[in-house]
Amino acid sequence: MAETGLLSDGEVAERVFDHVDNKTSDSGEKVWREPVENYHSEARFADEIRLLKHLPVPFCPSAAIPNTGDYVARIAAGTPLVVVRDEEGNVQAFRNACRHRGMQVAQGSGCTKYFVCAYHGWAYRLDGSVQHIPHREGFPDVNEDTHGLVPVEVIERHGLVFVTQEQGISRGALQGLDEIPDVLSPDQTIFASSENTGDVNWKLNMEANLEGLHIKTLHPESFFPYGYDNLNVVESFGNNNRVTFPFRRIEKLRDTPIVERNVAGQLTYVYHLFPNVVIAVLSNHTSVTISEPLTTTSTRFITYRMTNSGETSDKKNVARAKRDAGFLADTGSKEDAAAVRAIQAGLTSGANDHFTFGHYEKAIVHFHEVLSASLQGLPD
What is the C-alpha to C-alpha distance for residues 8 and 4, in angstroms, rounded to an integer? 10
What is the C-alpha to C-alpha distance for residues 235 and 181, in angstroms, rounded to an integer? 13
pLDDT of residue 61: 97
Cβ neighbours of 109 (radius 10 Å):
16
CB 229 within 8 A of CB 215: yes
CB 80 within 8 A of CB 96: yes
Burial bucket for residue 335 (CB in 10 Å: 0-12, 13-18, 19+) = middle
Pick the CATH number of 59-168 from 2.102.10.10, 2.60.40.420, 6.10.140.120, 3.30.1600.10: 2.102.10.10
Same fold, 2-54+185-376 and 59-168: no
CB 359 within 8 A of CB 211: no
CB 103 within 8 A of CB 61: no
pLDDT of residue 51: 95
Which amino acid would we find at residue 364?
Answer: I
Q: What is the pLDDT along the chain (380 residues), one digit of tens a residue?
A: 335 689 999 999 999 999 999 999 999 999 999 999 999 999 999 999 999 999 999 999 999 999 999 999 999 999 999 999 999 999 999 999 999 999 999 999 999 999 999 999 999 999 999 999 999 999 999 999 999 999 999 999 999 999 999 975 544 555 568 888 889 988 899 999 999 999 999 999 999 999 999 999 999 999 999 999 999 999 999 999 999 999 999 999 999 999 999 999 999 999 999 999 999 999 999 999 999 999 999 999 999 999 998 887 788 888 888 988 888 887 878 999 999 999 999 999 999 999 999 999 999 999 999 999 999 988 87
What is the C-alpha to C-alpha distance for residues 267 and 238, in angstroms, rounded to an integer? 23
Q: Could you give the 3-state DSSP secondary structure of residue 227?
A: strand
CA angle 81, 154, 380 (to 5 degrees): 80
CATH no. for 2-54+185-376: 3.90.380.10
Strand (E) or helix (H) holding 302: strand 298-306
Domain residue spans in the chain? 2-54+185-376, 59-168
pLDDT of residue 170: 47
What is the C-alpha to C-alpha distance for residues 353 and 338, in angstroms, rounded to an integer? 22
Which amino acid would we find at residue 66?
Answer: P
CB 183 within 8 A of CB 272: no
